[in-house]
């Protein structure tokens, strides 16, 4: 569910006409619905009420400070994967006691900063990392909590690039090694193994992989208990899938129905790390049709947003719905009773010098003309956060709609912004 709907043949975000936003702020433009963002957070929170979990929004899905602050204000914690994300989390006013930190490659500097700021725990991904954290914690004279990230070796049935819980993936620690580590870690003076963590992949639309992984995790926690090791936290990660196309993902409620019984019997404090589920359908990317180009084989709709703005189609062959903003075009939307000629098959492509720069291929679209605006739907997660300056393109403006109000939450970069950290050494000037 989301708050992007047609009224009088115009796409609205909450109570604001998106076309007006495109005219006012220019394109490419990211538009977020505050209401949609928040309601997804509460859907999960309510579904899991019986275990009262700490829901740590995954910062990498959408790192904008306003997005983070909006969620933090509603009680969310944050799941971070770098020192930069720690900086953002703190800047957004998140209590360090609600920050969890995963990553296979945390540097000494990042570990030190995280310890000093007093985060809830590290999700540790290898024995070497654990030793390193022990070493740094000892030097800083602090005792730190960690959760071991377990690789439960389950198949999440999602794109191979967003699968993270199989033994061929770089993430986490297998059960046998984890047990050895935990028994060994008793000698680590400055570390407390406080929990277990999993995150098996992203855009997972069925509950079975979660149930399989969590069952294994719960069994393992039970085994540890028999060894006299009492944990405090069970972090079940993120990965809940959303609707981009025809998916029928589990709802928060259905997901909860399946996993709550498993979680409840552990008696442990539950942590979740949803990213896409909360932000994915809360944002769209608005773009303008620059040119229509017919070739002997194809029709290309060339738009002013590119793979630097939204890389998911290029990187994961991800599907995003593309819809027109304006009424003239909207009239021709496929409702089943339209003339065939009002639709056409086209590739929607960006201006970047790469053949991978596309948003849709051979997509049946209502006929659009140059100057029309299109919305790429479901762009709220892994959209802006994966954007770049490739081709020296300025990163897009981001605005947030709250009912009938609009606020800029990131202004469009300037050309000066994109060269800000560069210098031409004097010798190149012959000095």
Residues classed as catalytic: 353
The span of 34-42, 55-63, 313-321, 401-409 binding ligand PLP (CB under 6 A) equals: 55-63
Indicate whether 60 belongs to the interface with ligand PLP (CB under 6 A). yes
Degrees, nearest 5: CA angle 237-92-418:
100
Residue 236 Cβ, how far from ligand PLP at the closest point, in Å?
A: 9
Is the previous residue joined to 28 through a cis bond, with omega within 30 degrees of 0? yes
The span of 69-77, 269-277, 287-295, 414-422 binding ligand PLP (CB under 6 A) equals: 269-277
Residue 381 Cβ, how far from ligand PLP at the closest point, in Å?
A: 6
Residue 190 Cβ, how far from ligand PLP at the closest point, in Å?
A: 23
Which residue from 121, 224, 230 is spatially nearest to 178, judged by alpha carbons?
224
Q: Are residues 206 and 150 in contact, defined by beta-carbon separation less than 8 angstroms?
A: no
Indicate whether 276 belongs to the interface with ligand PLP (CB under 6 A). yes
Indicate whether 151 belongs to the interface with ligand PLP (CB under 6 A). no
Q: Report CA-CA distances (Å) from 406 to 15, 32, 159, 385, 399.
A: 10, 10, 35, 21, 7
239, 283, 306, 324: residue in contact with ligand PLP (rule CB under 6 A): 239
Indicate whether 158 belongs to the interface with ligand PLP (CB under 6 A). no
Indicate whether 274 belongs to the interface with ligand PLP (CB under 6 A). yes
**Residues making up the chain, counted from first to last:** 431
354 a known binding residue?
yes
Q: Would you give the binding string for ligand PLP spanning residues 192-211, x where CB under 6 A is met?
A: -------x--x---------
53, 195, 207, 237: residue in contact with ligand PLP (rule CB under 6 A): 237
77, 152, 156, 238: residue in contact with ligand PLP (rule CB under 6 A): 238
Indicate whether 275 belongs to the interface with ligand PLP (CB under 6 A). yes
66, 94, 99, 102: residue in contact with ligand PLP (rule CB under 6 A): 102
Q: Are residues 6 and 327 in contact, defined by beta-carbon separation less than 8 angstroms?
A: no
Q: Are residues 110 and 117 in contact, defined by beta-carbon separation less than 8 angstroms?
A: no
Burial, 412: exposed, middle or buried (Cβ in 10 Å; 0-12, 13-18, 19+)? middle
Which residue from 383, 411, 410 is spatially nearest to 307, judged by alpha carbons?
383
Q: What tokens were used for 398?
A: 């981001």
Residue 203 Cβ, how far from ligand PLP at the closest point, in Å?
A: 6
Of residues 199 and 395, the one with the C-beta less far from ligand PLP: 199
Q: Would you give the binding string for ligand PLP spanning residues 11-50, x where CB under 6 A is met?
A: ----------------------------------------
C-alpha 341/C-alpha 428 separation (Å) is: 59
Q: Are residues 62 and 384 in contact, defined by beta-carbon separation less than 8 angstroms?
A: yes
Q: What tokens were used for 299?
A: 């029709």
The span of 40-48, 53-61, 65-73, 130-138 binding ligand PLP (CB under 6 A) equals: 53-61
The span of 17-25, 56-64, 311-319, 385-393 binding ligand PLP (CB under 6 A) equals: 56-64
Indicate whether 61 belongs to the interface with ligand PLP (CB under 6 A). yes
Q: Are residues 8 and 327 in contact, defined by beta-carbon separation less than 8 angstroms?
A: yes
The span of 179-187, 268-276, 283-291, 298-306 binding ligand PLP (CB under 6 A) equals: 268-276
Indicate whether 2 belongs to the interface with ligand PLP (CB under 6 A). no
Of residues 95 and 169, the one with the C-beta less far from ligand PLP: 169
Q: Is 322 helix (H, G, I), strand (E, B) or coil?
A: strand
Residue 123 Cβ, how far from ligand PLP at the closest point, in Å?
A: 6
Q: Is 399 helix (H, G, I), strand (E, B) or coil?
A: strand
Indicate whether 283 belongs to the interface with ligand PLP (CB under 6 A). no
Of residues 33 and 202, the one with the C-beta less far from ligand PLP: 202
Q: What tokens were used for 91?
A: 């800047």
118 a known binding residue?
no
DSSP 2-66: -SEEEETTEEEETTEEHHHHHHHH-SSEEEEEHHHHHHHHHHHHHHTGGG--EEEEEGGG---HH
C-alpha 115/C-alpha 109 separation (Å) is: 10
81, 305, 375, 396: residue in contact with ligand PLP (rule CB under 6 A): 81
Residue 146's region, left for phi above 0, alpha for psi from -120 to 50, else beta, is beta
291 a known binding residue?
no
Annotated binding site for substrate: 276, 312, 316, 354, 382
Residues that bind ligand PLP (CB under 6 A): 58, 60-61, 79, 81, 102, 199, 202, 237-240, 273-277, 381
């Amino acid at each position: 569910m989301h708050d992007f709907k047609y009224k009088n043949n115009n796409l609205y975000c909450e109570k604001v006409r998106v076309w007006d936003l495109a005219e006012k702020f220019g394109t490419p433009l990211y538009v977020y619905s505050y209401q949609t963002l928040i309601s997804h957070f509460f859907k999960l929170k309510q579904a899991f009420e019986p275990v009262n979990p700490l829901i740590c929004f995954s910062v990498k899905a959408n790192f904008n400070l306003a997005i983070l602050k909006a969620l933090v204000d509603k009680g969310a914690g944050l799941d971070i994967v770098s020192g930069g994300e720690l900086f953002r989390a703190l800047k957004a006013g998140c209590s360090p006691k609600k920050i969890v930190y995963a990553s296979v490659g945390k540097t000494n500097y990042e570990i030190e900063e995280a310890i000093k700021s007093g985060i809830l725990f590290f999700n540790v991904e290898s024995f070497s990392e654990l030793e390193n954290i022990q070493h740094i914690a000892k030097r800083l004279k602090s005792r730190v909590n960690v959760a071991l990230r377990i690789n439960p070796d389950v198949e999440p049935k999602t794109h191979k690039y967003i699968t993270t819980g199989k033994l061929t993936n770089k993430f986490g620690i297998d059960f046998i090694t984890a047990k050895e580590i935990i028994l060994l870690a008793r000698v680590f003076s400055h570390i407390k193994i406080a929990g277990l963590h999993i995150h098996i992949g992203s855009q997972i639309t069925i509950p079975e992989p979660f149930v399989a992984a969590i069952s294994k995790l719960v069994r393992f926690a039970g085994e540890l208990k028999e060894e006299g090791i009492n944990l405090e936290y069970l972090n079940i990660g993120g990965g809940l899938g959303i609707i981009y196309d025809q998916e029928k993902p589990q709802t928060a409620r259905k997901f909860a129905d399946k996993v709550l019984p498993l979680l409840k019997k552990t008696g442990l404090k539950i942590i979740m790390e949803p990213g896409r589920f909360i932000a994915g359908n809360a944002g769209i990317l608005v773009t303008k049709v620059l040119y229509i180009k017919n070739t002997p084989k194809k029709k290309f709709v060339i738009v002013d947003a590119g793979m630097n703005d939204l890389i998911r189609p290029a990187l994961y062959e991800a599907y995003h719905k593309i819809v027109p903003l304006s009424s003239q075009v909207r009239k021709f939307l496929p409702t089943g009773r339209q003339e065939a000629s009002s639709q056409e098959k086209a590739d929607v492509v960006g201006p970047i010098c790469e053949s991978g720069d596309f948003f849709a291929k051979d997509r049946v679209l209502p006929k659009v003309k140059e100057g029309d605006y299109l919305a790429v739907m479901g762009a709220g997660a892994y959209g802006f956060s994966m954007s770049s300056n490739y081709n020296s393109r300025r990163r897009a403006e981001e605005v947030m709609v709250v009912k009938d109000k609009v606020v800029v939450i990131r202004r469009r970069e300037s050309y000066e912004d994109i060269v800000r950290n560069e210098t031409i050494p004097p010798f190149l000037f012959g000095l």
